[in-house]
C-alpha cells in the first residue's frame, strides 16, 4: 500500500490538519482570498484527493520511522491526542500486533481555521464519524481503538504506555489544558511525545526530556520532545 483509501471530504480534513501538504498554488489562493474562503470553499472543491492520500501516507511513514527509534510498538496502550485522521496510528496498525489506541479529538471544523497558538483552544479540524470510516476502511479493526470527543466525553482513566500528540498539544494549545488529566493516567514509565514551541518549559516539569527532532514548518518552528516522569 502506497496510499490511504479516502474520499474527498476526508482528504479535505487531512489537508486542513496537515497544512504543509498544501501546494504552492493553494497557498497563494489562501493568502489572496483568506482563511474563510480556503476552509469553506476551496478546500472542499479544488483539491486532489489522490495526491493528498499519497503525500499523507508518505509523511506518516516518516513519522513512524522517527518514532520507531524510541518506541516499542508491540503490546502497548497508546493515547493519541489530536491525532487528526490517524495516519500514524494506521501505519502502526499495519506493522504491529496486540496494541490499543485511545484517541482524543475534536468533532468540528472551525469556520476560519487560524493556525498558530490558540489560547482558548477553540480551533477544531476533525469529524469523528469520518475518522471512524477512515480507520476502518484502512484496516483498523474496531476492537483496536476508541475515540473520545474532547468537548463532550469523559476521558479514559487508565494508565498508558505512550501518549503521542503530533502538532497538537503545546503546538497549538497549552499543555496545561491536559495536566490534571495526565496526573491520573501517567505512571513512572509512561512516555509522552509531542511537538512544542517552548521545550525548555518542560525541563522543570519532567524528570527526563529528550529532543528527538527540530522542525521548521509552515506554521512555526518547534521541537519534538520525549518526556518521562511528570513531577507531581
Ligand atoms: C494540526 S492538527 C494535527 C493532526 C495530526 N496529529 C497530524 O500530525 O497530522 C491538530 C489536531 O488537534 C485537534 N485538537 C485541537 N484541540 C484539541 C484538544 N483539546 N484535544 C484533542 N485534539 C485537539 C484538532 O482537531 C486537529 O485535528
Domain contains 10: no
Domain contains 7: no
Which residue has 503545546 as its cell numbers?
A: 170
State which of 105, 120, 131, 163 you would mutate to test the pocket of ligand 1, scoring each by most atoms of that ligand within 8 A of its C-beta.
Answer: 105
Residue that wins the pLDDT comparison between 160 and 221: 160
Ranking 22-26, 148-152, 182-186 by mean pLDDT, the lowest is: 22-26
Beta-bridge partner residues of 148: 104
pLDDT at 24: 86
Question: From CA 40, how far away is CA 36, in angstroms rounded?
Answer: 6
Domain contains 120: yes
pLDDT at 218: 63
How far away, in angstroms, is 104 Cα from ligand 1 center?
9
Q: Name the domain count of the chain.
A: 1
Q: What is the pTM of this model?
A: 0.94
Question: From CA 55, how far away is CA 49, in angstroms rounded?
Answer: 10
| Mean predicted lDDT score pLDDT of the chain | 93
Question: From CA 78, how far away is CA 159, in angstroms rounded?
Answer: 9
CATH of residue 95: 3.40.50.150
How far away, in angstroms, is 203 Cα from ligand 1 center?
24
pLDDT at 201: 97
Q: What residues line ligand 1, using a CB cutoff of 6 Å? A: 17-18, 81-84, 104-106, 121, 124-126, 150, 166-168, 172-173
Tell me the residue range of the domain where 191 lies.
Answer: 60-230
pLDDT tens digits, residue range 137-171?
999 999 999 999 999 999 999 999 999 999 999 99
How far away, in angstroms, is 72 Cα from ligand 1 center?
24
Domain contains 38: no
pLDDT tens digits, residue range 36-71?
888 888 888 888 999 999 999 999 999 999 999 999
Domain contains 96: yes
How far away, in angstroms, is 82 Cα from ligand 1 center?
3
Domain contains 176: yes
Domain contains 19: no
Q: What number does the ligand 1 atom closest to the CA of 13 have?
A: 27
Domain contains 128: yes
Nearest CA to ligand 1 atom 23: 82
State which of 17, 165, 170 you would mutate to test the pocket of ligand 1, scoring each by most atoms of that ligand within 8 A of its C-beta.
Answer: 17
Nearest CA to ligand 1 atom 12: 82
Q: What number does the ligand 1 atom closest to the CA of 18 have?
A: 9
How far away, in angstroms, is 114 Cα from ligand 1 center?
13
Amino acid at each position: 500500500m502506497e496510499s490511504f483509501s479516502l474520499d474527498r471530504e476526508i482528504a479535505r480534513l487531512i489537508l486542513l490538519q496537515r497544512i504543509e501538504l498544501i501546494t504552492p498554488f493553494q497557498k497563494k489562493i489562501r493568502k489572496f482570498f483568506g482563511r474563510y474562503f480556503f476552509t469553506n470553499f476551496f478546500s472542499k472543491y479544488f483539491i486532489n484527493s489522490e495526491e493528498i492520500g499519497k503525500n499523507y501516507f508518505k509523511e506518516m511513514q516518516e513519522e513512524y520511522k522517527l518514532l520507531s527509534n524510541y518506541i516499542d510498538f508491540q503490546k502497548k496502550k497508546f493515547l493519541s491526542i489530536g491525532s487528526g485522521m490517524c495516519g500514524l496510528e494506521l501505519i502502526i496498525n499495519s506493522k504491529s500486533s496486540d496494541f490499543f489506541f485511545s484517541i482524543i479529538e475534536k468533532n468540528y471544523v472551525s469556520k476560519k481555521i487560524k493556525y498558530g497558538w490558540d489560547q482558548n483552544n477553540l480551533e477544531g479540524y476533525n469529524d469523528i464519524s469520518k475518522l471512524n470510516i477512515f480507520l476502518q476502511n484502512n484496516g483498523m479493526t474496531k476492537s483496536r481503538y476508541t475515540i473520545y470527543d474532547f468537548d463532550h466525553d469523559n476521558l479514559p482513566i487508565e494508565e498508558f504506555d505512550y501518549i503521542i500528540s503530533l502538532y497538537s498539544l503545546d503546538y497549538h494549545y497549552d499543555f496545561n489544558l491536559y495536566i490534571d488529566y495526565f496526573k491520573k493516567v501517567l505512571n513512572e514509565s509512561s512516555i509522552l511525545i509531542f511537538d512544542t514551541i517552548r521545550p525548555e518549559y518542560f525541563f522543570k516539569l519532567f524528570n527526563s526530556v529528550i529532543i528527538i527532532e527540530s522542525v521548521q514548518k509552515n506554521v512555526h518552528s518547534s521541537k519534538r520532545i520525549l518526556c518521562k516522569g511528570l513531577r507531581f
